[in-house]
Chains A and B, each alone.
Chain A
Amino acid sequence: KQEVTQIPAALSVPEGENLVLNCSFTDSAIYNLQWFRQDPGKGLTSLLLIQSSQREQTSGRLNASLDKSSGRSTLYIAASQPGDSATYLCAVFGGGSTLGRLYFGRGTQLTVWP
Chain B
Amino acid sequence: NAGVTQTPKFQVLKTGQSMTLQCAQDMNHEYMSWYRQDPGMGLRLIHYSVGAGITDQGEVPNGYNVSRSTTEDFPLRLLSAAPSQTSVYFCASSPGHGSNQPQHFGDGTRLSIL
Contacts and interface: CB of A to CB of B under 8 A. Distances in A.
Nearest to A1: B59
Contact of A49 (B41, B58, B98, B102): B102
A31 B43 contact: no
Contacts, number: 56
Interface in B46-91: 48, 50, 56, 58-59, 90
Interface in A60-80: none
A36 B56 CA distance: 24
Contact of A100 (B40, B48, B90, B104): B48
The listed residue with most B CB atoms (<10 A of its CB), out of A43, A45, A104, A106, is A43
Contacts of A91: 43, 103
Contact of A104 (B43, B97, B102, B106): B43
Given A100-B50, A102-B33, A46 B42 contact: no
The size bracket of the interface on A is 20 to 34
A28 interface: no
B101 interface: yes
Given A51-B100, A102-B45, 16 more contacts: A4-B42, A31-B100, A43-B107, A44-B92, A46-B103, A49-B100, A49-B102, A100-B48, A100-B50, A101-B45, A103-B45, A104-B35, A104-B43, A105-B42, A106-B40, A107-B42
Interface of B: 31, 33, 35, 40-45, 48, 50, 56, 58-59, 90, 92, 97-98, 100-108
Interface of A: 4, 31-32, 34, 36, 42-46, 49, 51, 89, 91, 99-107
